[in-house]
Structure 1
């Protein structure tokens, strides 16, 4: 990113500062703190003094103020909070609280969500500027003079709202981002490089009148006489003096002659907050509609997905939904890195080693914040930029893991086992562990496996081993690997490449064979599948499965399937037709079909207005564990036919639970663009298990039973609130991927409890408004975060699901969760004891008479020694210690422990004040604490 800053960004701040120094009428908005911070650190003392002066006089102004301008659909809510927190903390510490922004700035994210805007409202923003909403919706709002409205997020909390301005067409001013020809001449004409004085005065007059006409047209969608005009475009201020020199003559002409025009008009340079101040001075709040209520032309509360169309005709359109699942390897690795950072932040806050880790933690945090950028995590950056993101991400994850291991070891009084930085296979895999090149010599491979076995036998905690097939560099080559069967569950095979290469992985047990087939290299994803018998060229698949080879997919759909990609990994026995019992494999399965109309990375963007882009997506997730399958996940590739106004887009998924496996399958139908507001959309989730196949409702009741079918059909006018639906979390913090209303992703399933997180908006207040009633719809918008435990096996008889909510409801802090990570977790260390305790018991308790105070008591017992060791002192101080360091200036702070059940753990006790978690011998290694921050 440093080279990108040097070549593309630095000159913007250098030249803009000089331009504002030379002309007292000019003003400038700064949105992203990340790059500005880099400029500030390199700026001369005179530049800093000048900027401070211009900032205090409101000629420079921060808008948004996050470390980056975050995506709002693929980004996790906690990551969005962190990037805004980082930016605001830096502004506050550098320039003081008076410089904190009051205007949220979301110009380029591909759709806006109520989840993000609710968070922005709680961060203290009073106003918001947005742009990319479905163009048909924008047309409706324009016709109803409702391009400005109050966006209210909860009916029960009228104060939680933000005044929102929707840009008339695009963040490049003008019709479809272009100015009239006379104005174009000033920008892109043959004399554009010359000073404007070289033009005849009548040229300036014609251009100014054209500008006046466009501003008058833009005022139609508003209920007052002020018009916001965004001047500039991507990188246009790299020579700010020249850029201002093109517009200033037009501004001056209108200022001198505007009262004689029809309609009369005055124009001046202003900051975003000055515009909203002018609106409030002229107009009362009651004049504006409240989004989602009856006095608006649409009752929608969400602007996802973004549907692009020609703003004038509203006929040419395309769904910008490809970024929900493009570059999934990047998305998965970003989640893993962010989870490591959360854990590292939490532990370092209480660790005596924090001062030595401060700079490293800051760097890892900046990497995480960078990934929230609206062109980073969505995967819409150029390939070279994405490659740089992978490199930066690996570095940040490595730093976070080192901090985590060091601080946890320090807290527990044991030496850290870290010897070297973890490695990450390029473009895939999980963080941590050693990487073996598939093309290594036999001796090197043997040493690799021996080292892994030695580490296991010595009790040392070793992360997953990665096998990198390096398909990018060896296109078309078939690579064979011998993976010892006793280490199969510790190995993750990574392959990224172009075309349809294969990697055949054979184990010592000849019954089990894996192969890898990659396709759609622009997605940077490995495609893995199961081969049952047959040959490499003609595999035979189990008749009960639908695990496709890449070459088989075109036969199930139309032409676009030639670009289909798939991802599967299983370990299967030819002899028995069952999963190999020695392996505990999990993987995601992703299907997508698209027709590219431009080269990478634009394949998911409709850019040809003459013909809409056909974008289809399918994502499902297989969770596979030891033991035979009871049911098989049957999947269909749902494709849209020839696009026309009557054909919707379909995304499908269902959740199939078997004895030891499950598959999530989520269906979403997007209405056609001809009238998307009135088209119905559907989210259907089907859940099956051996004992509950006949039930007709989907929720965990007070006895913890799993229902069989839950179906929620809704109209776009009343969509599900929030965009995080659902989030799946299992077993460890490093294995979670956000799922939105329009896409979904992966998490590992382990025997025990499956936790579905239905994320809603974060709140500064209590977690619940009246608690959670399982007899009603569990998706009702009552809670900030609802954690629902669905048992794949029968829960203990004494377990009552309702008791969990009694405890949480009594606490004003967010949900309390304890993370017990398995020995295969990449962020674990040998921490609790060696050998591991026979059992560990964790109790989360409210202090007598003070429900706001929380105590976590940890203890483990060793039957061999008949002893019980308690960690009361450490645990109590952990929660009662005041957080110091960078978060000290955060006005509202919340601590939370994430409770995710381990592979072999079970809830062994509940009452209204205490929750206990028991873990089998040898299964606990790391306790992770995480906290979230909210700026008011």
Structure 2
């Protein structure tokens, strides 16, 4: 369903009188289950309120920028609450906590009490309960959990148990992830409903009456991840001709027989037909009708008054033999009625990607749209997790400050935010909010380091820490020309890591490690391709590159001191070649290039494995512009990837190569043309290859939109099979031109085979596996045997017609936007690859946070006497298959901790085994754990109190699962099974 805005009219009406139905309960106990001998129609009034899309979240809330569209969410909530109070039969659901939280904070105590009563009576129900209705393709599971936890905490604090959401409501996202189903099940949800499904899949499911199913959300967690899932009958709008919102043009219910337009007989008859049509495609005597859509119910009286009449007159027909019973309901009550039907359901184990709304319109472009915003969102999450850790270990309890970034991240997960499918000014607003949250985070960072840096007995104020947010373009203005500065690196993982920082400088420095030893560091020119990026103002021409080995869950500080005496520097050997064949090689890998800059082979020396490349580099697809003569075929746009031709072409006929070799790093810099390049680096001792790409400004002077991909064509005998991750967690097998659960008629050979890549994609044969790790969510696939392609950047001159209303043509500094990014390449045997790509992906996702300072100390000796230069929260090693997902201080004595096992079953002989950890290890620097309470994933209910609905499949499998929980409140040692996440509220003494 295409989103729309309409003219705002405010019409005051009175509701149709209805008998009062008392209700003192909420949840399933408040549900009307209908009549067993009737077709029960569950009427669900709702609104879908995008937290930004055509307007910013502020503009949508207040109803400003009316020239774009008219809606104002504050009026929706005002109107709905008043309408619910007016008639106790009415019910309503609300989803987006970002809006409701804002509205709630502006209300009086009397209104608070009124709303609480509506919630306690089950007449206002919160569904899903996230800060936003999150996207499912471009989001990472860490941020999905966070944004749902943020909403769940607000609801629990304000309304208690009656407000705990039990249903996922993903009615508008453009495709659906199996991992999201698994996460929802772990959040305690009993079901999930959504509106969008591939048009071919929908036809098949209508024919077979399988629009409702049991979705097995995980290949590892068994029944804990099973989730009842339903596809709504009409997207998420009302049935045709029954939309009563002020935005709609359908006829109202006119029940005065003296009026010429009296239409009760016709309207009732039409509704009975609509209800029975739905009954033909579902399998119980219950159907659901969503009465609402985008930003509807600004005048809720208008909608409710007509629905009151419709319900009244349709039910009167039961006296004349009608089989239809209609009443106000909610998705939860509809689900409960289905559960009580005791039916057996079909199952699903794959996902709902890619999504095509109509032939030739595959919504796979948004997997990559706005790549800079996608990377910024990932970077902001990195900072959010770090500041929570720093705040927790310093025990400063500054959640009021971390909330600013948490809230911005919650908005960024919206399906028109990180997806890249919003207007440009809205994308700017999301970035601005993230930036403001990051700026506030520096308060937390500085207050934390004020406790962690000084040595015992030292009272000297610490040097102010700051971020260099433009390090990705080799710019850090505050350190330019300084005589000394420090670099502090916080490692947010529970395992030691080795990284290679790159510090842009205007002069050469001596660098000391945390124990005062001089570090062997390279001093290399910054590539021209970086220095020429529009907007870069740095005068730095060089960068220091060195090896930094960081402790687990802690920091190291490196001291930089400028020296003017060149004799103090060890002049290291640097070898360079231009446009010659070159080989990069360390202890583990060999990477071979020819003199044309073509990647020839990657050799894993230890395993004696060679992957040969027939093509590797940057290519582009021509964007289909759309034609009036072909109205059914959409242009390529923010949502849709529609290439004009099914073959990508090289962006340049020639390329240049410049190879540099030092003791620390060897790299091949390949320039394709003035707007595209890649740099492949191999560091000393590393098991992985780093590829950094720079694309832009993409030229469009020829009036042709371009979609830039990176291509890895190899001799791996992968056939048509490839593998992509789901939201950074489990991996799904993909097969070109194939769908596991329905016959796929190929209409788009390229975009129809694109899938979301949140962290990794790979191909393999019997002996070899090539894995690509990504630094943000991107789209890609395997268009040929042995090939991986990943879309990096898009600059398009036409709109695809699905609502955003403007081309995806990002600019900066008066030119097309330049984007840089990284891929990590791994070559290994398939059976040995899991450790590399699992650990590599986690460390790539959760990178050490670099902060700089300008110390007010006169020398390194003075600095080292005053400040700790290394610190770790851990004194013992943690298992390598365990990840610390969340560490957050809730109050002076309480913490929220999530730990996960991030290997899958049978993925690795060693690391796919259950893991055991002692959570007390995380608190050695803070105190002793006095109490542990295990909670569900959203931390709003003890696991021991969770009782999900049971379902039966057609294979006679029950969904009933034994929930893992802590046996003793005083035990700090816990077990983790593959892919299991456990959440604890911990109290220290």
Q: Which position in structure 2 is the counterpart of 1:77? A: 141
TM superposition shift of 1:332: 0.2
- Residues 492-530 of structure 1: CA deviation (Å, up to 9, x unaligned): 669579xxxxx9999869xxxxxxxxxxxxxxxxxxxxx
SS class of match (1:172):
coil
Which whole-Å CA distance do the structure 2 matches of 1:158 and 1:53 have between them? 35
Describe the shift of the 1:578–1:228 C-alpha distance in structure 2 as closer, same or farther (beyond 3 A). same
Aligned match of 1:6 in 31, 38, 62?
Answer: 62
SS class of match (2:136):
coil
Describe the shift of the 1:347–1:62 C-alpha distance in structure 2 as closer, same or farther (beyond 3 A). same
Which whole-Å CA distance do the structure 2 matches of 1:244 and 1:888 have between them? 35
Aligned match of 1:17 in 68, 77, 81?
Answer: 81
Which whole-Å CA distance do the structure 2 matches of 1:277 and 1:674 have between them? 29
Do the aligned partners of 1:317 and 1:673 also contact (CA within 8 Å) in 2? no
Where relative contact order (Cα < 8 A, 6+ residues apart) is larger, the structure is: 2
Q: Which position in structure 2 is the counterpart of 1:301? A: 350
Describe the shift of the 1:459–1:89 C-alpha distance in structure 2 as closer, same or farther (beyond 3 A). closer
Describe the shift of the 1:369–1:206 C-alpha distance in structure 2 as closer, same or farther (beyond 3 A). same
Q: Which position in structure 1 is the counterpart of 2:326? A: 267
TM superposition shift of 1:421: 6.1
TM superposition shift of 1:588: 13
Q: Which position in structure 1 is the counterpart of 2:419? A: 378
TM superposition shift of 1:76: 0.1
Describe the shift of the 1:302–1:253 C-alpha distance in structure 2 as closer, same or farther (beyond 3 A). same
- Does 2:392 match 1:349? yes
Do the aligned partners of 1:74 and 1:378 also contact (CA within 8 Å) in 2? yes
Q: Which position in structure 2 is the counterpart of 1:118? A: 182
Which whole-Å CA distance do the structure 2 matches of 1:230 and 1:222 have between them? 15
Describe the shift of the 1:888–1:84 C-alpha distance in structure 2 as closer, same or farther (beyond 3 A). closer
Which whole-Å CA distance do the structure 2 matches of 1:543 and 1:817 have between them? 27
Q: Which position in structure 1 is the counterpart of 2:168? A: 104
TM superposition shift of 1:16: 0.5
- Does 2:386 match 1:320? no
TM superposition shift of 1:411: 3.1
Which whole-Å CA distance do the structure 2 matches of 1:832 and 1:199 have between them? 92
Q: Which position in structure 2 is the counterpart of 1:544? A: 598
TM superposition shift of 1:304: 1.1
Q: Which position in structure 1 is the counterpart of 2:627? A: none
TM superposition shift of 1:109: 1.1
Q: Which position in structure 2 is the counterpart of 1:759? A: none
- Residues 828-855 of structure 1: CA deviation (Å, up to 9, x unaligned): 9999996957999974158xxx954257
Which whole-Å CA distance do the structure 1 matches of 2:671 and 2:920 have between them? 41
Do the aligned partners of 1:131 and 1:169 also contact (CA within 8 Å) in 2? yes
Describe the shift of the 1:215–1:878 C-alpha distance in structure 2 as closer, same or farther (beyond 3 A). farther
Do the aligned partners of 2:179 and 2:218 also contact (CA within 8 Å) in 1? no
- Residues 154-186 of structure 1: CA deviation (Å, up to 9, x unaligned): 567235312212112311122xxxx23x86899
Which whole-Å CA distance do the structure 2 matches of 1:778 and 1:548 have between them? 24
Aligned match of 1:164 in 229, 239, 245?
Answer: 229
TM superposition shift of 1:204: 3.9
Which whole-Å CA distance do the structure 1 matches of 2:854 and 2:374 have between them? 19
Which whole-Å CA distance do the structure 2 matches of 1:754 and 1:566 have between them? 24
Describe the shift of the 1:788–1:622 C-alpha distance in structure 2 as closer, same or farther (beyond 3 A). farther
SS class of match (1:221):
coil
Do the aligned partners of 2:175 and 2:354 also contact (CA within 8 Å) in 1? yes
- Once superposed, what is the RMSD of the aligned Cα atoms? 6.1
Do the aligned partners of 2:467 and 2:850 also contact (CA within 8 Å) in 1? no
Which whole-Å CA distance do the structure 2 matches of 1:135 and 1:552 have between them? 25
- Residues 847-888 of structure 1: CA deviation (Å, up to 9, x unaligned): xxx95425769xxxxxxxxxxxxxxxx856579587999998
TM superposition shift of 1:347: 2.6
Do the aligned partners of 1:12 and 1:237 also contact (CA within 8 Å) in 2? yes
Do the aligned partners of 2:89 and 2:328 also contact (CA within 8 Å) in 1? yes
Which whole-Å CA distance do the structure 2 matches of 1:63 and 1:832 have between them? 56
Which whole-Å CA distance do the structure 1 matches of 2:278 and 2:872 have between them? 68
SS class of match (2:526):
helix
Which whole-Å CA distance do the structure 1 matches of 2:285 and 2:853 have between them? 58
Do the aligned partners of 2:596 and 2:656 also contact (CA within 8 Å) in 1? no
- Residues 465-491 of structure 1: CA deviation (Å, up to 9, x unaligned): 899xxxxxxxxxxxxxxxx98673899
Greater strand fraction, Structure 1 or Structure 2: 2
Q: Which position in structure 1 is the counterpart of 2:510? A: none
TM-score, normalising length from structure 1? 0.57
Do the aligned partners of 2:182 and 2:217 also contact (CA within 8 Å) in 1? yes
Q: Which position in structure 2 is the counterpart of 1:391? A: 432
Which whole-Å CA distance do the structure 2 matches of 1:489 and 1:127 have between them? 52
Which whole-Å CA distance do the structure 1 matches of 2:447 and 2:667 have between them? 30
1:507-522 equivalent positions in 2, closer than 5 A: none
Greater helix fraction, Structure 1 or Structure 2: 1
Describe the shift of the 1:885–1:632 C-alpha distance in structure 2 as closer, same or farther (beyond 3 A). closer
Describe the shift of the 1:141–1:189 C-alpha distance in structure 2 as closer, same or farther (beyond 3 A). closer
- Residues 520-544 of structure 1: CA deviation (Å, up to 9, x unaligned): xxxxxxxxxxx999xxxxxxx9453
Aligned match of 1:37 in 89, 101, 122?
Answer: 101
TM superposition shift of 1:342: 0.8
Q: Which position in structure 1 is the counterpart of 2:309? A: 249
Describe the shift of the 1:198–1:289 C-alpha distance in structure 2 as closer, same or farther (beyond 3 A). same
TM superposition shift of 1:353: 1.6
- Residues 250-281 of structure 1: CA deviation (Å, up to 9, x unaligned): 222212225547x6212111122222222233
Aligned length: 657
Describe the shift of the 1:371–1:455 C-alpha distance in structure 2 as closer, same or farther (beyond 3 A). farther
Structure 2 unaligned regions, length at least 5: 1-56, 64-71, 491-500, 506-521, 543-576, 580-594, 600-614, 624-640, 696-706, 716-721, 725-732, 747-751, 757-762, 782-789, 793-819, 857-862, 880-914, 945-972, 974-980
- Does 2:405 match 1:364? yes
Moved more, 833-842 or 48-57: 833-842
TM superposition shift of 1:221: 1.9
Q: Which position in structure 2 is the counterpart of 1:335? A: 378
SS class of match (2:480):
helix
Which whole-Å CA distance do the structure 2 matches of 1:194 and 1:831 have between them? 83
- Does 2:138 match 1:138? no
Structure 1 unaligned regions, length at least 5: 293-299, 310-315, 437-446, 468-483, 498-502, 510-530, 534-540, 592-618, 638-648, 658-663, 686-694, 699-706, 711-724, 729-735, 757-773, 780-784, 792-814, 858-873, 894-912, 914-930
- Does 2:523 match 1:488? no
Q: Which position in structure 2 is the counterpart of 1:516? A: none
Aligned match of 2:918 in 853, 861, 884?
Answer: 853
Describe the shift of the 1:650–1:70 C-alpha distance in structure 2 as closer, same or farther (beyond 3 A). same
Do the aligned partners of 1:340 and 1:404 also contact (CA within 8 Å) in 2? no
Describe the shift of the 1:24–1:165 C-alpha distance in structure 2 as closer, same or farther (beyond 3 A). same
TM superposition shift of 1:558: 12
TM superposition shift of 1:391: 0.4
Q: Which position in structure 2 is the counterpart of 1:920? A: none
- Residues 365-404 of structure 1: CA deviation (Å, up to 9, x unaligned): 1111111111111011122211111100111122234423
Which whole-Å CA distance do the structure 2 matches of 1:190 and 1:169 have between them? 16
Do the aligned partners of 1:183 and 1:210 also contact (CA within 8 Å) in 2? no
- Does 2:444 match 1:403? yes
TM superposition shift of 1:339: 0.8
Do the aligned partners of 2:136 and 2:175 also contact (CA within 8 Å) in 1? yes
Describe the shift of the 1:161–1:370 C-alpha distance in structure 2 as closer, same or farther (beyond 3 A). same
- Residues 430-455 of structure 1: CA deviation (Å, up to 9, x unaligned): 59x9776xxxxxxxxxx97324xx34
